[in-house]
Amino acid sequence: MHIMEGYLPAAHAAGWFVASVPFIVAGVVRLKRIVAEHPQARMTLAAAGAFTFVLSALKMPSVTGSCSHPTGTGLGAVIFGPTVMALIGTIVLLFQALLLAHGGLTTLGANVFSMAIVGPWVSWSVWRLGSRLGASIAVAVFFAAALGDLASYVTTSVQLALAYPDPASGVLGAALKFGGIFALTQIPLAIAEGLLTVVVMNALSGRACMADEIRVLSGDVQ
């Protein structure tokens, strides 16, 4: 994730951008609906965006052309659903590319697809499954954030493998190699992100002005 500027072939960069656009458009529609129906949610939206920006800006080197770091998208996915996180994640990644030289404009579509689309959808799905199975909020949030983080990196491994398949073992072999190297740093980071997301979720839910809002939004059908 956060594949650097110019690292992907032009056709791959364009393809991931096209694949991401429908999700971003849906995110705009969903965000307008949230603000219209729950005007008080603006502060929580800002908190989710800031959480994503800060966590995903903390990077450590990993595979050549990429890096490992938390994603921060699990919190927003649990509260607002995966659709709106496509838009929030895109804004975060755009600002990081322009202001921090983290990621890039040509690889924006690929980075959005892994971090702002796949990750949030996995987080939200795990959250909903955990809720239906009767898991506590803390347990459901932990696994939602941690598995969403790992899903982003699995997606990035596939993206890199498609662009640079292994001469001997092809795309599958390259994906396993990229994923194996990512795992050394990403599994501990995913666990840490899960724990931190639980702490932040508890802090937000502990505020009387946000508790009911979060309960309504996180229970809404996305």
Name the pTM for this structure: 0.89
Asked if residue 165 lies in contact with residue 171, where contact means CB atoms within 8 angstroms, the answer is yes
Q: At what angle do helices 73-80 and 170-205 cross, to 10 degrees?
A: 60
pLDDT in tens, 108-134: 999 999 999 999 999 999 999 998 998
Better-predicted residue by pLDDT, 177 or 13: 13
pLDDT in tens, 176-204: 888 887 777 788 889 999 999 999 988 87
Residue 213's pLDDT is: 55
The stretch 160-188 carries a mean pLDDT of: 87
Q: What pLDDT band is residue 63 in, cutting at 50, 70 and 90?
A: low
Listed by start position, the domains of the chain span 10-218
Distance separating alpha carbons of residues 2 and 59, to the nearest angstrom? 9
Residue 92's pLDDT is: 94
Residue 39's pLDDT is: 86
Residue 208's pLDDT is: 43
Residue 91 has pLDDT above 60, yes or no: yes
Residue 61 has pLDDT above 70, yes or no: no
Q: What pLDDT band is residue 30 in, cutting at 50, 70 and 90?
A: very high
Residue 15 has pLDDT above 90, yes or no: yes
Residue 93 has pLDDT above 60, yes or no: yes
Q: What pLDDT band is residue 217 in, cutting at 50, 70 and 90?
A: low
At the top level of CATH, the class of 10-218 is: mainly alpha
Residue 54 has pLDDT above 50, yes or no: yes
The stretch 144-165 carries a mean pLDDT of: 93
Residue 62's pLDDT is: 59
Q: What pLDDT band is residue 140 in, cutting at 50, 70 and 90?
A: very high
Distance separating alpha carbons of residues 149 and 207, to the nearest angstrom? 26
**Cα–Cα nearest to 149, from 192, 85, 178:** 192
